[in-house]
Structure 1
Amino acid sequence: MFRRVLVANRGAIACRIIRTLRRLGISPVAVYSDADRHASHVAQADQAVRLGPALAAESYLRQSEILDAALLTGAEAIHPGYGFLSENASFVDACDRAGLAFLGPTAAQMRELGLKHTAREIALREGVPLLPGTGLLADEDEALAEAARCGYPVILKSTAGGGGIGMRVCCTPAELQEHFTAVARLGLANFGQAGVYLERYVEHARHIEVQVFGDGRGGVVALGERDCSAQRRNQKVIEETPAPGLSDAVRQQLLATAVRLAAAVSYRSAGTVEYLYDADREEFFFLEVNTRLQVEHGVTEEVTGVDLVEWMVRLGCGELPAIETLRPEPSGASIQVRVYAEDPAHAFRPSTGVLTDVRLPEGVRCDTWIERGVEVTPFYDPMLAKIIVRAPTRAEAVMRLQEALGQTSLSGLETNLDYLRTVVATPTFATGGFPTSFLSQVVYRPRAFEVVDGGMQTTVQDHPGRTGFWHVGVPPSGPMDSLGFRLANRLVGNGPSAAGLECTLVGPTVTFHAATTIALTGADMAATLDGVPVPRWTPVPVLAGATLRLGAAAGPGARAY
């Protein structure tokens, strides 16, 4: 067994790998950027080495610095996690030259299977079903000719893409001409490969993938399939196993073709074969191979009892038992949601800041790197945690997931938590077997309003307010006009102590994301709702998207509620 392993990653996956290394008695070594110098994976490791500034290109993607860190600390192997250098064949070659074990597939396998056009060629040779498509396209003219042959709509893809980057659906020749150069440019900018190919686009499709593990000598086992159809802009949000609604015959065919494809290259370590599944016809087609550990590997571990990171480590040091003796029998159902620092009310743009409170559910698996006081920066993927539930049946797993999300609370910045609660509460999610377009049909309206202009001095108050906290620097507080405050709550049916806004001298401007009822009391601030004057001292219905504007206080009093 290795004595020391370097984890060439950060965030949730670095912490998850360190957890297994600790259990195996292996000393973990972390690497970090300046932005991550106080991160959880650094604190959990025995040693930590600085790589450079915050930008990934200057830290986590610097191969020479990572190799130097491994040699400096006496690490014998490197686990890449996912993302960053996990599918970089030249990094694998560099590890081999440095005498370090790379815990993953070989460089040749990455080149053969990691590039989508060569993976398609191998799949074709091995009899794996393929959508009508092409190899690498020489130029736009060839793309137009091939699209006409395959039939519109088609989807343009970067050969080295991932996570939905470098993919465009084209319904007409004009759209293909518009997107061809952009897809090539995205592939080059994000993955260093400008190659583009196309496939026929199936509108009502599901995304099914098979987890495989190979011993590097031709032995391969499949550890079940995962349904990753809950996607937003081709980025997975919710994953589960087993895939709902698959017949036994289709499931066995999926597993068998995945094993055949991986065995064809004597695949080594963990990998995933992804398929597009047409539920109407019960047909599946090869998409790509991910030559690394997947973000969603945890659901497979939950139903099989396997620790995939442990298998990767044991294979790397030559201590993995014969692969055929390890074949597990999946049991139960598992679902994972990805919790992101992003704002669903504003096109899911990433959010940054300090997490002032973190409460994660008990009794379920949470792969995370966050804790109270952690700063979420703009430099990396905004994923905060993966909440993973397991139960004997899918219906019970859905209920456990709903309960777990209800117990989760993150404060200090915007997250997709409430959005996830909305998604898993829909009848479509409860039924399962939905297509990849499902999330685009979910209507999400956060029960919140957005402060457009804060006014002169607008504060959140409650009654009777907070007293007795001078020792921690909090002065006595509460509404100045407690009667007006309590009456406003009564008018809209709230309890007298419900929180509300106290507006001083000049009021704020707010936009409501959901329909609600408001009441204005206290000083007259000439309030308007979408330009229409708002009466005071009476309940007022508000539609989603409406904007309330309060001006300067006029007449008696200086505060409105």
Structure 2
Amino acid sequence: MADTFRKVLIANRGEIAVRIQRSLRRLGIASVAIYSEPDRHARHVLDADESVGLGGHSAAESYLQAERILEIAVQTGVDAVIPGYGFLSENADFAENCEQAGIAFVGPTPEQIRQFGLKHTARALAIEAGVPLAPGTGLLIDVDQACAEAARIGYPVMLKSTAGGGGIGLTRCNDEAELRQAFASVQRLGQSFFANSGVFLERFVARARHVEVQIFGDGQGRVLALGERDCSLQRRNQKVIEETPAPNMPPATREALFTAAERLGRTVSYRNAGTVEFMYEAERDAFYFLEVNTRLQVEHPITEMVTGIDLVEWMLRTAAGNPPELSRRPESRGVAIEARVYAEDPLKDFQPSPGLLTEVHLNRPGF
């Protein structure tokens, strides 16, 4: 494949689409934007070299229309498709169909997306790589097996859906009665949201921190850890504050996290950007594998800020067959924090309540 692309389709919207366009422009690569009807005047559409409407108003009617997006990619003659995060970024079938059409998918291989897409198979790979895990199980057959395994592990336990993310189906069970009550419900949630009802158990870690390691691989066996991010401050299992480097992390533990993440990536000759997520138990100075996100993360800019690396550029170069040199970890300088804004309705038990922003103040003095 050539060292650079001529034209790339951005299979996303909003901030990440603008972010990708910025990197494409700097590299001299033309961009093709796709858009739903409400996004027809969005910045990523107006700034693109070409733009094609998907129709529809919801994500299901537009940005999740894999066949339609691939048709547009073929019709516009792009060399590659980059989804960034969300939507089709972890859709192995879409990645495979792109490559079968002779169009590069800017991300991991379809097989790697599948390998890490289910948490129980990701745990198996982590065991193979010698990465620490919290005591847990494989996929459970029924609630009776779950109760027997929970008795072996010791309560409380976490009942988890093997598919998807965002904390959906994640349930703490303090005793057998709670586990029996939750089992079928978590299975239904997994089937409803991710078309997969598989569930498994892990030991509950009471005072866990959520720490993730940014990795990058060239697809040829070289994988580097580019730093870690602390994502412990969450609301309803959704990240609110991300910080790098993780505060109060012993240097030896940080090095062990990096080594474990790199070892896991090398086990599958990981290609492109990814994130290995861990629980960190400060009282024991121990960490346990959680999952791998085979995509760019929303919080990737804070890693870029302290390392000076343009991860989108690295992704594009790697997909074009010209990966960066991965011989040495970059130095991290300074501290960077990302904060997300959550809108909730206090009169409805603080349910998520997106609406119209009427006034916004940013860059306040002293903030």
TM-score by length of structure 1 reads 0.63
AA at the equivalent of 1:130 = L
Partner of 1:403: 366
d(CA) in 2 for partners of 1:207 and 1:321?
29
Alignment of structure 1 residues 7-46 onto 2, 5 Å: 7-46=10-49
Match of 2:83 among 69, 75, 80: 80
d(CA) in 2 for partners of 1:268 and 1:261?
12
Match of 1:334 among 326, 333, 336: 336
Partner of 1:202: 205
d(CA) in 1 for partners of 2:135 and 2:256?
20
d(CA) in 2 for partners of 1:162 and 1:311?
26
Deviation at 1:103, TM superposition (A): 0.5
Partner of 1:175: 178
AA at the equivalent of 1:40 = R
8 Å CA contact 2:82, 2:107 repeated in 1: yes
Q: Deviations over 1:361-390 (max 9, x none)?
A: 28xxxxxxxxxxxxxxxxxxxxxxxxxxxx
Partner of 1:118: 121
Unaligned 5+ runs, structure 2: none
TM-score by length of structure 2 reads 0.95
d(CA) in 2 for partners of 1:208 and 1:114?
19
Deviation at 1:41, TM superposition (A): 2.0
8 Å CA contact 2:314, 2:324 repeated in 1: no
Deviation at 1:323, TM superposition (A): 1.8
Match of 1:133 among 136, 159, 170: 136
Unaligned 5+ runs, structure 1: 363-401, 405-561
Partner of 2:231: 228
Partner of 2:93: 90
Pair 52,113 (structure 1): closer, same or farther in 2 beyond 3 Å: same
Q: Deviations over 1:334-372 (max 9, x none)?
A: 11101244446754434444444444328xxxxxxxxxx
Instruction: Give the fraction of aligned pairs with identical amino acids, expressed as a percent.
Output: 61
Partner of 1:267: 270
Partner of 1:361: 363
Are 2:117 and 1:154 aligned?
no
d(CA) in 1 for partners of 2:43 and 2:164?
29
Partner of 2:167: 164
AA at the equivalent of 1:307 = D
Q: Deviations over 1:413-450 (max 9, x none)?
A: xxxxxxxxxxxxxxxxxxxxxxxxxxxxxxxxxxxxxx
Pair 342,15 (structure 1): closer, same or farther in 2 beyond 3 Å: farther
Superposed CA RMSD: 1.7
Deviation at 1:3, TM superposition (A): 1.4
Alignment of structure 1 residues 280-295 onto 2, 5 Å: 280-295=283-298
Moved more, 130-139 or 261-270: 130-139
d(CA) in 2 for partners of 1:7 and 1:109?
21
Match of 2:105 among 68, 90, 102: 102
Q: SS where residue 338 of structure 2 aligns? A: strand
Partner of 1:249: 252
d(CA) in 2 for partners of 1:347 and 1:294?
29
Partner of 1:324: 327
AA at the equivalent of 1:301 = E
Q: SS where residue 403 of structure 1 aligns? A: coil
Moved more, 338-347 or 238-247: 338-347
d(CA) in 1 for partners of 2:366 and 2:19?
23
Partner of 1:365: none
AA at the equivalent of 2:251 = D
Q: Which consecutive segments of 4 or more residues in structure 1 shift more than 6 A?
A: none
d(CA) in 2 for partners of 1:29 and 1:357?
32
AA at the equivalent of 2:318 = L
8 Å CA contact 2:117, 2:164 repeated in 1: no
d(CA) in 2 for partners of 1:95 and 1:145?
44
Q: SS where residue 208 of structure 1 aligns? A: strand
AA at the equivalent of 1:165 = I
d(CA) in 2 for partners of 1:108 and 1:293?
17
Q: SS where residue 289 of structure 1 aligns? A: strand
d(CA) in 1 for partners of 2:359 and 2:236?
29
8 Å CA contact 2:161, 2:187 repeated in 1: yes
d(CA) in 2 for partners of 1:17 and 1:193?
32
Q: SS where residue 52 of structure 1 aligns? A: coil
AA at the equivalent of 1:230 = L
Are 2:182 and 1:143 aligned?
no
Pair 322,50 (structure 1): closer, same or farther in 2 beyond 3 Å: same
Query: How many pairs align?
Result: 364
d(CA) in 2 for partners of 1:49 and 1:190?
29
Deviation at 1:176, TM superposition (A): 1.2
Q: Which has the larger radius of gyration?
A: 1
AA at the equivalent of 2:327 = E
Deviation at 1:328, TM superposition (A): 1.2
AA at the equivalent of 1:328 = P
Q: SS where residue 57 of structure 1 aligns? A: coil
More relative contact order, 1 or 2 (CA 8 Å, 6+ apart): 2
